[in-house]
Amino acid sequence: MPAGLIAKISDNNYKEAHTVVDVRRARCPSSRHRRLAVVEFAIFVSTAVFCATLCFMNTPIRYPQQGLETYDRPGGGPARHNHRSTHRSGAAPYQQRSRPLSPSGGGSPLLTGMNNFPTPTSGDYLSPLAPQSRGPRQSPDVLFTQQQPPQPNPAEEQDPMDALYPAISYSTTAPMVPAPPGPPSPATPSGFTPSELEGLIERYKVQSLRNKVYAFPQMSLDNKLTLMFLQQLRIETQFSAISGVLAQTETRLAHLEKLCELAWTPNKSQMKILRALVRHYLVKVLPTYTSLGGYVKTYIHNNADVLHMSFYATDPTIRTTINGLCGELASQMKSSFRKALFKAVQNKVPLVTFAKNMYNSYHLVPVPKDVPTAMLATFALMRQVADPLAKKKNTAGSDTGFWKALEASQDALYKKHSPDKDRVNGPAWQEWATAIIAKDKRKWPSREDDGVLIPGAVQEIDAALGIARGDDNDVGISGANADESMQQTVPEEPEPEEEREDDEDDEDDDDTPINADLGTELARRAEEQQLVASSE
């Protein structure tokens, strides 16, 4: 406190002097207050400088050159170059000159502008792999005005959805286009480098819309949101339309499936195969001939793909239809076989001649040269059962009782030789086969020379066989494969098949060729299974 002010203070005027001191303090702030004011001013100045810097960074800089803007910042207004600062700093002023800059191997000439930066004059600037595309990016205005969109290649296969809606791509697995060698290119307003952006364009298959891809980052946020909203509405509208069409299509397909199931029948080739299979099993050694169609069903189930009947195992309608046809064909073939057998007995055709004739007519290719002994014995058993029945006068369409008598004879034989289950190679069965063959030859002695029938017998048997004589056994199916399928699976519950007289419609005059690869495929499968069995 000043000395003059202390001298004026007395005991009587203490309060007045104290008031004067407070006023003096208020008018003369302390050093602490002054420091706070300086700090606040510094903060204000720093904030102003920071805001000005941000505004400057977002302000576009454009360099005018021959009426073209070659460099740009995202967002907007022009900013001219200060030539005085160039001369003051000693840098060379901008020079505008034109010279061709064509890379080795071809390319488009470039217009060289200020600071010797190239200005593109063709559409090559859009490719990130072009040599002249490296370096500072060009103005979007120049890019969009000079671009020539590439023409789509008509030979290139397109997804149906891509063809209908080219602006939408559903493929996200295409690899990215690798970046070209050299220094990295500056980023576009979207944040991607030109090479990365071109890679995305290639990945989503929007090469024809490259203009829009480059223009989208230049749009304002409101415009982007509006455009995206419109695209979303468009997609929803298209999806609603497609959903309605799909719902109608699904209903119609379900209706068509029902109609197809009701009207499904095998084609001519499949019918010929079914008929050939039934005929083949008639000349094989079987424990029962009552359920002849069951062996055909088993073969179809095991070879459905090769026979083009893959739906047999999954579709109940198709399975029921084929099973019914197998039963009908079995009845027809058994009737024809029984007629041929009766005719052979009446004409006293020798056993070997009859067996060879039936094998050539019924057996699938390849037909064995010699009839196996087990089958000769089976034929002899059939002839023994048919002899008394063939002498009777049978009414057309009536049951002769042949198949029932044959089943009874076979049941008795199986009971007698039950310990020996191998009917082909079992000792007991071989002994029986030798005896019944000799008995047949004594009753109907041989009249052929080397297995050749006399002309009369051939004509009579051919007339009796009916549809049995022909090329129906050559349908491209391997007989060995059919026999193997027969040995693998035997029908568990045989269904009786009534013998039915043949009609004229039963004759197979169909000359439709069978797939030649069918027999090859089945033979190959049989060989593979035999190799596996032998290796085991």
Residue 249 counted as domain residue:
no
Cβ atoms of 146 and 122 closer than 8 Å: yes
> 305 or 160: whose pLDDT is higher?
305
**What are the tens digits of pLDDT across the range 256-270?**
887 777 777 888 888
pLDDT of residue 426: 86
Task: Output the pLDDT for position 476.
Answer: 56
Last residue of a domain, one of 201, 218, 235: 218
| CA distances (Å), origin 159, targets 97, 170, 192, 201, 293 | 49, 9, 27, 16, 48
- Supply angle C-alpha 58, 59, 61, rounded to 5: 125
Is residue 287 located within the same domain as residue 175? no
pLDDT at 67: 41
Q: What is the pLDDT of residue 434?
A: 93
350 inside domain: yes
Tokens of 382: 């059939």
H helix intervals, 194-315: 194-203, 210-215, 221-263, 268-282, 292-302
CA separation for the pair 75, 79 (Å, rounded): 12
pLDDT of residue 384: 94
Residue 115 has pLDDT above 90, yes or no: no
Q: Would the pLDDT of 404 be above 70?
A: yes
Characterize the bridge pairing of strands 118-119 and 111-112.
antiparallel
Contact 179, 202 (CB under 8 A): no
Residue 111 Ramachandran class (φ > 0 left, ψ -120 to 50 alpha, else beta): beta
188 and 42 in a common domain: no
Inter-residue contact 521 to 475 (CB < 8 Å): no
Both 41 and 141 in one domain: the answer is: no
Higher-confidence residue: 115 or 191?
Answer: 191
φ, ψ of residue 379 in degrees (nearest 5): -60, -40
Which has the higher per-residue pLDDT, 343 or 155?
A: 343
Picking from 330, 298, 301, the residue whose alpha carbon sits closest to that of residue 490 is 298
**pLDDT band with cut points at 50, 70 and 90 for residue 49:** confident
Average pLDDT over every residue of 431-443: 93
Residue 64 belongs to some domain of the structure: no
Could you give the percent of the chain with pLDDT greater than 90?
Answer: 17
Longest dimension (CA), the chain: 176
> Has residue 65 got a pLDDT over 80?
no
- Looking only at the bridges linking them, the beta strands covering 111-112 and 68-69 are unpaired
**pLDDT tens profile 119-148:** 444 444 444 444 444 444 444 444 444 445
**Whether residue 10 is found in the same domain as residue 100:** no
Residues 361 and 433 in one domain: yes
Give yes or no: residues 343 and 473 share one domain: yes
Is 328 buried (19+), middle (13-18) or exposed (0-12) by CB count in 10 A? middle
- Is 242 a domain residue? no
Total number of domains in the chain: 3
Q: Among 58, 80, 105, identify where a domain stops.
A: 58
340 and 481 part of one domain: yes
**Cα–Cα distance for residue pair 467/250, rounded to 1 Å:** 45
Does pLDDT of 91 surpass 70? no
Does 193 map to a domain? yes
Enclosing domain of residue 102:
93-218
For the residues 224-251, what does the mean pLDDT come to?
A: 91
Span 275-298, average pLDDT? 90
User: Could you tell me which residue, 76 or 328, shows the higher pLDDT?
Assistant: 328
Burial 446-474 (b: 16+ CB within 10 A, else e): eeeeeeebeeebeebbbebbbbbbeebbe
Q: 151 and 49, same structural domain?
A: no
| Band (168; pLDDT cuts 50, 70, 90) | very low
Rounded Cα distance between 353 and 334, Å, is 20
Q: Are residues 390 and 490 in the same domain?
A: yes
- What is the DSSP pairing of strand 64-65 with strand 118-119? unpaired
- Residue 481's pLDDT is 59
Q: List all residues 6 or more positions away from 121 whose beta carbon is below 8 Å from its beta carbon.
A: 108, 109, 110, 111, 146
Question: Which ranges of 283-315 would DSSP assign to H, the alpha helix?
Answer: 292-302
Pair (524, 412) in one structural domain: yes
Q: In the prediction, which pLDDT does 139 show?
A: 45
In a domain, 529, yes or no: yes
Q: What is the pLDDT of residues 289-344, one digit of tens each?
A: 988 888 889 888 888 888 888 888 888 888 888 999 999 999 999 999 999 999 98
For residue range 481-536, list pLDDT tens digits in order.
566 655 554 444 444 455 544 443 333 333 333 333 444 555 555 566 555 555 55
Residue 215 has what pLDDT? 87
Could you report the per-residue pLDDT of 456-493, keeping only the tens digit for each?
A: 444 555 554 443 444 455 555 656 556 665 555 444 44
Record the tokens describing residue 409, joined without a space: 């004879």
pLDDT at residue 467 in the model = 38
pLDDT for 244 equals 87
Per-residue model confidence (pLDDT) at position 281: 92
pLDDT in tens, 198-223: 999 999 999 998 888 888 888 899 99
Task: For residue 188, give both structure tokens.
Answer: 């576009």
Looking at the fold, whether 330 and 439 belong to one and the same domain comes out as: yes
150 and 43 fall within a common domain: no
* 3-state SS assignment for residue 296: helix
Q: Is residue 240 part of a domain?
A: no
